[in-house]
Amino acid sequence: MISPGKSPFALAEKGQAVAQHYRLQTGSRTMNCFVESGVVTTPVGDWVVLQIKTNFTALFSENSKSSAVSKHIVFNQLLTNFSSKLITASVHELDGIIDQALAALGKFCDVDRCYLFEFSDDGECMSNTHEWVAAGVTPFIDELQNMPTSSLPFFISHISNGMFKVDDVTTLPEEAAAEKLVFEEERIFSILCVRIMVDDTIYGFIGCDIIGSPYSWNAFDIEYLRRIGEMLGNTLQSLRNRKALQKAQIDLLEANKQLERLANIDGLTGIANRRLFENTLQRDVERCEEQGLALSLLLIDVDLFKQFNDAYGHVAGDAALQKIADTLTNSCLGSDDLVARYGGEEFAVILPNTRLDELHAIAARIIRNVKFLDIPHRASDYDGKLTVSIGMASMELNPSRHDDAPQSKESALSLVQQADQALYQAKASGRNCAKL
């Protein structure tokens, strides 16, 4: 409803140009229209003319059977178009398609507002997520966020059963006083809403309003809105299923990564285990042979570790191994280096592209850093501190031909044997040293 002073007739009569949208009410229904004013000069004087642009053909043929059939055909085409879009819609595309569907429905049914509401997971709140309004109609989406469902009990009780339909808001019963107040604030005279189901629970509802005058909702209005709601519900169900599948796939990948990690990581120290060490050494030997790079290896043994366990206990022994593992990792700075627990109190370090002079420096750093841990060991000859012995091995390689690749396995075994022999020499030399 508009005040008499602001009607297009009054404005045009005052000489003001009119060119805007209004909602026209006839004896049978209301509709959106565009009103333009103009002045026509005739011999007898000037005439103010209002041109009302609307679909008069549809208005006068409203009750004809052919018009109804045509309308159903057009709606089915509209529904098919959006269904095809929604079938392949991604999560990011869904909002835009819903907006398009609401706009198409609103224009097709000639209503003032179409909208989609979603309930919170606990059903305590509802929010207006999408809204289309006709020209000249005030949008309310920003004000309709996180509304407590308890504030509209009459509406919720009806929409929970499938539909809320009011032809004339003024006829709402006394128990709908809260709803009536909200509708009147938004100048809603007629309202139609149908629920949307996802996973056999109420996801939300889709609805449309008539502003300014009551309207008797037709059976086809209800059918059209319900079918759009079912289409959106099916799409949301499909997206939810896709999300669940994607999450299951991600969880499976993470589980596989975790299993792979557990299969390659030593449970006590958190560094690589024997399995990962052997696979990595084999791969590094092949790569270094292909590229002509040096490859070095350290085998490290904790000196007199059995006596340490006997004196201090296995818990202290485990703690000592963990500290040594951390020290080895921090002492080897190359991005391709691998520190592994070789077995028991033995560790191994693979050092790709590391030559002999660098190898000696790394081994000396490890011996020094382990001693700096200051772990007491009564059986040690070196200030009563826990120490390590190191066996070093290195191979200077030239690029090999592809037919030499099978020799890489023998090269890896040979490198381990060299380092093991060097470790034996380090122990025989009094421990707490590195030998090549």
Q: Which CATH superfamily is domain 65-243 in?
A: GAF domain (3.30.450.40)
Q: What distance in Å separates the CA atoms of residue 287 and residue 338, rounded to the nearest whole number?
A: 15
Q: What pLDDT, on the 0 to 100 scale, is given for residue 93?
A: 81
Spatial contact of 283 and 275, defined as CB atoms under 8 Å apart: no
Cα Rg, the chain, nearest whole Å: 41
Spatial contact of 294 and 353, defined as CB atoms under 8 Å apart: yes
Looking at the chain, the domain(s) classified CATH 3.30.70.270 span: 274-435
Looking at the chain, the domain(s) classified CATH 3.30.450.40 span: 65-243
295 Cβ neighbours under 8 A, 6+ residues apart: 284, 285, 288, 350, 351, 352, 353, 354, 394, 395, 397, 415
Q: 341 — phi, psi (to 5°)?
A: -90, 115
CB atoms closer than 10 angstroms to residue 263: 10
Q: What pLDDT, on the 0 to 100 scale, is given for residue 300?
A: 97
Spatial contact of 382 and 251, defined as CB atoms under 8 Å apart: no
> Token pair of 335, please?
């991005």
- The answer to pTM > 0.75 is no
* Average pLDDT, consecutive stretches of 10 residues, N- to C-terminus, the chain (436 residues): 69 76 58 74 74 55 53 70 71 82 85 93 92 89 94 95 94 94 91 91 92 87 87 79 81 84 88 93 90 92 95 95 94 85 95 90 95 93 93 74 54 92 95 94
182 Cβ neighbours under 8 A, 6+ residues apart: 152
Q: What pLDDT, on the 0 to 100 scale, is given for residue 28?
A: 46
194 Cβ neighbours under 8 A, 6+ residues apart: 159, 162, 163, 164, 205, 206, 207, 222, 225, 226, 229
Q: Find the angle CA(208)-CA(212)-CA(213) to the nearest 5 degrees.
A: 85
Q: What pLDDT, on the 0 to 100 scale, is given for residue 401?
A: 43
Q: What pLDDT, on the 0 to 100 scale, is given for residue 144?
A: 93
Q: Which CATH class is domain 274-435?
A: alpha beta
